[in-house]
Structure 1
Amino acid sequence: MDLRQLKYFLKVVEFSSFRAAAESLNISQPALGAQVRKLEEELEVQLLTRHSRGAEATDAGRRLEEHARALLERSELALRDVRRFSGTPGGIVKIGVTPSIGRALAPELLEFCADRHPDIEVNLTQGFSHELDRALLSSRLDMSFSTSEINDEKYESLPLLLQKTYLVGTPDALSGLETPLPLHALQDLPLAMDARDEQRTHFLQDLAVRQGVRLRNVRSPIHSMSIRRETVLSGSCSTIVPYALFAQEISQGLFRALEIDEPSLHKVLNLNTRTVETMMPAENVIRQLVVELVDKHIAQGDYGWTIP
C-alpha cells in the first residue's frame, strides 16, 4: 500500500465515480481501476461497491477513508516541514479566488509572480467563499480569498481589505437613484442574484426581513457570472456585488455603481492560509505578494477597497 494508491482511492470516494476521478487525476480510467483493485487485493477486503451509477465506499472503505486522509495529511505536513529548509522558493501554489478577485487581482498576481518568482507556478481556482473554504480545509488549495475567518492550530486568516457592497446596473436602469443608497430603495428593483453566492444572498434577504423591507422583484437565481453580466447589461435587471466584479464595465460607462448604505453588507476579505510556521517558502512569497498588491490598490483608491 502506497500513498498514491490511497490518493486514487480517495478521489473515487470523493466523486463516487471512476470516470470523474480519473479525469480529475489526469490518468486513464483502466489505470485508476487497476490501482484500486491492487489496493483491495493487498488489504484482502472490498473497498468499493461498483454499480452502473458509479461507486460507493463499503464499510471497510469508509474506515480506510478516515485513515487515508490522516496519512496523506501527515505526509503533506512532513513534506512541507522539510521543504522549508530549501533554498530558492519554488513549486506549485494553489490559490482559490472569489469572482471579484479573479477579475481585479488575479491577472496582476500571475504577471508579478512570473516576473519576480519564475520558479513558482500559481494555479488559480475560482469559487465563492464557502466553496473555497471547503477546498482549503480538504487540502485541495494552499490558500484562499474568503469573507470567512479561520483561525486554529492549522490555519490562519490575514485580513486584507474591507469590500463594500454596491448596486450595479446600467445608467438607465439606475436613473434617479443616488449614492449612498438606503436598503429600502431596493425593494421594487428587478435584481439578478447569483445562486452560488449563498452567503451574500441569504444575508441580504435576512437583513431585508429584519428591517421590514421586502425584495419583491428578485428574478430566478442565475448560476453563471457571464449570464448575470449580460442580463444586467440588457438593462432588465440590476445586481448586488462588490465593485471589483464589474470595475471594467463601470470604468467604460456600461454600468453605474451605487454604494448601499448598510455597513453590515460590507465584508472583510481575508487571505486564509496554513499557519506561517507550516507554510512552504513559495506560499509565504505569494502571501507577501498578495499583501503588496492589495495595499497598492487601497492606496490608489481602487475598487472601493479600504483598510479593514
Structure 2
Amino acid sequence: MELRQLRYFVAVARQQHFGRAAQRLNIAQPALSRQVQQLEEELGVRLFDRHTRGASLTPDGQRLLTRAEALLAEAETLRQDAHRGSDGPSGTVSLGVSPGMAELLAVPLVTACARQHPEIRLRIVSGFSPLLHDWALEGRLDMVILSGAGDPTRFAMTPLLREPLCLLCRADDRRFPGTETDLAAVAAVPLVLTGPPEAALQRVVNEALTPLGLTLDAVAQVDTAAVSKRLVLAGLGPTIDVAAMARAEIAQGLLKALPIGNLQIHRTLARLRDRQASPAAAAVAAALSACARDLVATQLWPGATAAA
C-alpha cells in the first residue's frame, strides 16, 4: 500500500466520480482506476460501488476513508516538519470546537497563532461535542475542545475553563426578575434549545432534572446559538447556554443571563493518547490555553473561570 494510492482513493471518495477525481489529480482516468483496483486487490475488499452516475463508497470503503485521511494528514505534517527543520513548528493543525466557541475563539486564536507561528496553518472545524469526540477518535482532528468529560483512557486532556449554565432570556422578561433561577423555573417555560439532545449542555441539564421528575419543554430546537438568540429576542422563549454566547446582546441590554443553580459546563482540550502531538499541535495547544486565560482575565469570556 502506497500513500499515492491512498491519495487517489480519497480523491475518488470525495468526488464520488472517477472522471472528476482524475481531473482534480491531473492524471488519466485509466491510471487512476488501476491504482484504486490495485489497492482493492491488496486489501481484499471492494472500496467502491461503480454505477452510471459515478462511484459510491462501500462500508469497507467508508472505514478506510477515515483512516486514510488521518494517515495522509499525518504524512503531510511529517513532511512539512522535516522540510522546515529548525525554523520552528510548521504544518496544518485541525482543531474541533463547538459553533458557539468558534465565534469566541476563532479570531483571537488564529491571530495569535499567525503572529507567533507563521508556518502553522490552523484549521478550525465546528461541531457539537458528540461529533467532535467521534472525529477525534477516528483521527480526523488533531485536538478538540470537549464540553464535559472525555474518556481518560483514550484522550490526554487539559482543562481549559468552566462556565455556569444560564437561562438566557430577554431583559424585559418579567417571569425572571432576579439575578439567578432554578431548575423548576426553567422546566416550567417553553424553551429554545440549541444543538442535539445528546450534546453536553442539554445532557447536563437533563441529568439534573431527572431526579426531580422534570423535563425540558422545547418549543424549538436549532443548530446554532446565533439562531437561538434571534428566536429569544423575537419572544419565542428563553434558551439555555453560557453567558459568553450572548455577551454582545447582554452588553446592549437586550438579553440577561441567569445562572441555573450550581450547574456548570467544563471545557477540556483533548487529543488521542496513542497519537503523539506534533510540534505544531503542541504550539497550538499552548496558544489556545493562553488565549482562554486572556479572554477570561479581560472579561471577554463573561462568567468563565480559567483552569488552574
| TM-score calculated relative to the size of structure 2 | 0.79
Alignment of structure 1 residues 188-199 onto 2, 5 Å? 188-196=188-196, 198-199=198-199
Structure 1 residue aligned with 2:283: 285
Given that 2:144 and 2:271 are in contact with CA atoms closer than 8 Å, whether structure 1 keeps it comes out as yes
* 1:306 equivalent in alignment to 2:296: no
Q: Which moved more, 1:280-289 or 1:170-179?
A: 170-179
Alpha-carbon distance in 1 for matches of 2:123, 2:168: 30
Change in CA separation of 1:191 and 1:86 when aligned onto 2, cut-off 3 Å: same
Alignment of structure 1 residues 11-90 onto 2, 5 Å? 18=16, 28=24, 37-43=33-39, 45=41, 46-51=46-51, 55-57=56-58, 86-90=86-90
- Offset, 1:201: 2.3
Given that 1:5 and 1:35 are in contact with CA atoms closer than 8 Å, whether structure 2 keeps it comes out as no
Structure 1 residue aligned with 2:182: 182
Q: Which moved more, 1:73-82 or 1:221-230?
A: 73-82
Structure 2 residue aligned with 1:158: 158
Change in CA separation of 1:44 and 1:102 when aligned onto 2, cut-off 3 Å: closer
Structure 1 residue aligned with 2:93: 93
Listed one character per residue, the Cα deviations across residues 98-152 of structure 1 (whole Å, up to 9, x for unaligned) are: 2232122221111222222222222111111111122222222221111232434
Given that 2:128 and 2:195 are in contact with CA atoms closer than 8 Å, whether structure 1 keeps it comes out as no
- Offset, 1:273: 2.6
Listed one character per residue, the Cα deviations across residues 189-217 of structure 1 (whole Å, up to 9, x for unaligned) are: 221112436222244234323212243x3
- Offset, 1:259: 0.6
Residue type at the aligned position of 2:49: T
Given that 1:276 and 1:284 are in contact with CA atoms closer than 8 Å, whether structure 2 keeps it comes out as no
Structure 1 residue aligned with 2:223: 223
Structure 2 residue aligned with 1:272: 270
Alpha-carbon distance in 1 for matches of 2:125, 2:74: 24
Given that 2:192 and 2:236 are in contact with CA atoms closer than 8 Å, whether structure 1 keeps it comes out as no
Residue type at the aligned position of 2:231: T
Q: Which moved more, 1:161-170 or 1:27-36?
A: 27-36
Residue type at the aligned position of 1:119: E
Change in CA separation of 1:240 and 1:83 when aligned onto 2, cut-off 3 Å: farther
Structure 2 stretches lacking a partner, 5+ long: none
SS in 2 for 1:220: strand
SS in 1 for 2:202: helix
SS in 2 for 1:96: strand
Structure 1 residue aligned with 2:145: 145
Structure 2 residue aligned with 1:213: 214
Change in CA separation of 1:110 and 1:162 when aligned onto 2, cut-off 3 Å: same
Listed one character per residue, the Cα deviations across residues 268-307 of structure 1 (whole Å, up to 9, x for unaligned) are: 1011135599222222221111111222233344421114
Listed one character per residue, the Cα deviations across residues 230-267 of structure 1 (whole Å, up to 9, x for unaligned) are: 1112122110012221212211222111011033xx12
Residue type at the aligned position of 1:249: E
Change in CA separation of 1:36 and 1:113 when aligned onto 2, cut-off 3 Å: same
Alpha-carbon distance in 2 for matches of 1:84, 1:243: 42
Alpha-carbon distance in 2 for matches of 1:127, 1:196: 11
| TM-score calculated relative to the size of structure 1 | 0.79
Report how many residues are paired: 297
Residue type at the aligned position of 1:37: S
Change in CA separation of 1:134 and 1:258 when aligned onto 2, cut-off 3 Å: same
SS in 2 for 1:192: strand
- Offset, 1:47: 3.2
Residue type at the aligned position of 1:242: V
Alpha-carbon distance in 2 for matches of 1:162, 1:242: 10
Structure 1 residue aligned with 2:112: 112
Change in CA separation of 1:47 and 1:90 when aligned onto 2, cut-off 3 Å: closer
Given that 1:89 and 1:119 are in contact with CA atoms closer than 8 Å, whether structure 2 keeps it comes out as yes
RMSD across aligned positions (CA): 3.7
SS in 1 for 2:305: coil
Given that 1:100 and 1:242 are in contact with CA atoms closer than 8 Å, whether structure 2 keeps it comes out as no
Alpha-carbon distance in 2 for matches of 1:47, 1:208: 46
Structure 1 stretches lacking a partner, 5+ long: none
Residue type at the aligned position of 1:42: Q
Structure 1 residue aligned with 2:125: 125
Residue type at the aligned position of 1:288: A
